[in-house]
Structure 1
Amino acid sequence: MKSLPLPLRLAAGIAVTAVERARDLPTKIAGLPVTVASQALQVSMRVQQHVTELAIKGDEVLAALRPVEEAPDWATFDEDVDDVDHARPAFDRVVDEPEDDPWEQEEQAITVAATPPSAVPNYDELSLPQLRARLRQLSVGDLEEALAHERAGENRPEFVGMLTRRIATVRDQT
């Protein structure tokens, strides 16, 4: 038997493949969003890898062009500092002077916390918006008294911040 011409055989093969794919289409449609998403993620990961590789190559080239600093300007080391005591935070410094009696300090703090500021007698009962409404009428001394009372008492960050900012504003205005 003589074989059929190539174009006819090709057409038959394409028709059979189209029918097979049409039968598989319902199962492939269900997984299509996952496939598309995974392929998109793969492409984005490849792009990110290429961008990172290019950046690394660029860093290597630029590093060869710039000399390396021995010590950056922003870096400070203990041996670079003349007066080590001033470079350290206050809570790390050793105090050689004898401190006041701690019991006396505690009693003072309790007294300050117990007595509300004279300009705002009901201070402890006020909410933040209520206190904010009264701040414009207070002097720097009154504000500092209220701040000391707050710090000695509940020491609420929002109250302390608001009083501190108001004191700075009043000082700037005068």
Structure 2
Amino acid sequence: MPDFDVVSLPDIDHAAEGDTAPDFTRPLVNDEYWEDASLSDLTDEGPVLLVFFTMDGAFPATYMWNEIRDRNWDEDRDLTVVGLSISDPYAHKQLVEERRMDYRLFSDPQNGVAEEYGIVHDLDGMAGVSEPRPAVFLLDEDRTVEYVWVAEEWPDFPDYDEVEAAIESQ
């Protein structure tokens, strides 16, 4: 029995398969530095798996990135795996180092990107504070959404085998 309650999240109208994913520019962090980058900069180079996650340090973020790291989806594939959360660049740099991740993470403290994608999750008891609902978007070079998974409860995690099958079908 978990030490927390599983909570159903309300229905939302989010970016769907076949939609063009909104472009954005935010700080993109790796283990050494960060710089402003746009999503279209990444998709211009090939398909992108955009992973929205809860703030750094929360157990769902740690669990998701450990699983993604261990599955190595971008190895031997023309695919960029990148994350996005409300955490600031300093916290992202620490997460990348601690998890020994080769992935870059967008920092979006105001949660504007999640708003554009329709996946905002207001945090209970914290007026004006939100984070992205966990979500995965597989985008082609034109930012067309080829696959999408969005959490329906908290906590919720993608079916990693299903994500992998979507990547392999590219």
Relative to the length of structure 2, the TM-score reads 0.21
Higher helix share: 1
More relative contact order, 1 or 2 (CA 8 Å, 6+ apart): 2
